[in-house]
C-alpha cells in the first residue's frame, strides 16, 4: 500500500462523493467540498450535520440541498477526523488507479477548498498564529495556486507523494494550533 491509498477501506471514496454531487447537481467537486469542510472543521467551525453546507457558503439556491446519505457520511467522517488532534489529515483524492494528473489536480482543488473553509470558520486567522502556521498557510496557498505540468511520471509520483505528505501534516498542525487558540484557557 502506498501513502496515497486510503488506510480505511470503509471510508467514503472520491468516486462515491463525486457521483453523489453530480446526481444532486450541486456544482462543486468532491475534492473541493471535502477540502472546504475539512478546513472549516480544522479551524473550529461549529456547523452541525444539518447546516454545514450553508456554513460553507457554497451558493446553492436552496438553503440546504436534499438530505443525502453520502453527504451525511462525508460530514460524519470529516467531523470524526477532527474530533481529536489528528497526526495527519487525509485529503479525499481519486484512487491511485485514476492516474497522476487527476490526483494532483484534486489535491490542488482540496487545498483551495481547505483554505476557503478555514476562512469561513469563526477562527481569527492572523497575527497571533505562529510563524510555522503562517508558513503552512502560505505553502498551502502556493499549492492551491499551482498549475502543474507533468514530465516524468516516476518523479512526478514521488513529488505528489511528498506534497501530499506535507499537506497531511500541515493541516494537522494547523488544526492543533487553531483549536488550541480557540479553547479558553482555564485560570489556575
Residue whose C-alpha is closest to residue 154's, from 109, 100, 104, 86: 100
Domains and CATH numbers, the chain: 14-182 (1.20.120.740)
CB 68 within 8 A of CB 145: no
Residue 61 buriedness (CB in 10 A; 0-12 / 13-18 / 19+): exposed
pLDDT tens-digit readout, 112-158: 999 999 988 866 555 578 899 999 999 999 999 998 777 768 888 89
- What values do phi and psi take at 170, rounded to 5? -65, -40
Q: Is the pLDDT of residue 59 over 70?
A: no
Confidence label for 180 from pLDDT (cuts 50, 70 and 90): confident
Confidence label for 69 from pLDDT (cuts 50, 70 and 90): confident
The residues, ordered by sequence, that sit 6+ positions from 130 with a Cβ below 8 Å of its Cβ are 177
Amino acid at each position: 500500500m502506498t501513502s496515497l491509498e486510503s488506510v480505511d477501506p470503509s471510508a467514503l471514496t472520491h468516486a462515491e462523493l463525486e457521483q453523489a454531487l453530480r446526481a444532486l447537481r450541486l456544482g462543486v467537486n468532491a475534492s473541493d467540498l471535502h477540502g472546504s469542510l475539512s478546513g472549516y472543521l480544522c479551524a473550529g467551525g461549529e456547523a452541525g450535520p444539518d447546516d454545514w453546507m450553508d456554513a460553507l457558503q457554497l451558493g446553492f439556491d436552496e438553503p440546504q440541498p436534499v438530505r443525502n446519505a453520502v453527504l451525511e457520511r462525508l460530514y460524519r467522517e470529516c467531523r470524526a477526523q477532527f474530533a481529536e488532534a489528528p497526526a495527519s489529515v487525509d485529503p479525499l483524492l481519486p484512487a491511485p488507479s485514476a492516474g497522476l494528473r487527476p490526483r494532483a489536480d484534486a489535491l490542488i482543488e482540496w487545498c483551495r477548498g481547505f483554505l476557503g473553509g478555514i476562512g469561513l470558520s469563526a477562527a481569527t486567522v492572523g497575527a497571533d498564529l505562529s510563524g510555522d502556521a503562517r508558513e503552512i498557510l502560505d505553502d498551502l496557498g502556493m499549492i492551491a495556486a499551482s498549475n502543474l505540468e507533468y514530465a516524468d511520471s516516476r518523479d512526478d509520483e514521488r513529488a505528489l507523494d511528498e506534497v501530499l505528505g506535507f499537506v497531511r501534516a500541515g493541516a494537522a498542525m494547523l488544526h492543533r494550533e487553531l483549536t488550541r487558540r480557540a479553547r479558553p484557557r482555564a485560570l489556575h
